[in-house]
Amino acid sequence: MTNDLDKQIEFNPVKTEHAKQIAGLHISGISTGFISSLGIDFVTALCEAIAKSKCGFGFVAQEQDEVIGEQG
C-alpha cells in the first residue's frame, strides 16, 4: 500500500517534454491572464521555446513523472 509519506517530489530543470503539462498548470492557475487567453497550443509552444532557449530557464516539481508545479 502506498501512502503520502512514500511519495517523492523531485525538482528538475524544465525540458521541452514538460511544456504541455506546464501550459495546463499555467492556464488553470491563471485562467484570466493574457497569456492564458491565447490557448493551450500557444502556451505550450511558449513553454517549449523557453525550455530550448539559452537565455531561458525554469524548474518543475514532479511526482512520478507528473509535473505538479513550475517556477520559471
Q: How far is residue 35's CA from residue 26's CA, in Å, rounded to a whole number? A: 9
Kindly report, residue by residue over 5-52, the tens digit of the pLDDT.
567 999 999 999 999 999 999 999 999 999 999 999 999 999 999 999
By residue range, what is the domain housing residue 13? 4-71
Beta bridge partners of 24: none
The CATH number covering residue 66 comes to 3.40.630.30
Q: What pTM was estimated for this model as a whole?
A: 0.81
Q: Look at the chain and report how many structural domains it folds into.
A: 1
Q: Are 50 and 44 in contact (CB under 8 A)?
A: no
Q: 43-63, pLDDT tens digit by residue?
A: 999 999 999 999 988 999 999
CA 18, CA 13: separation in Å to the nearest integer?
10
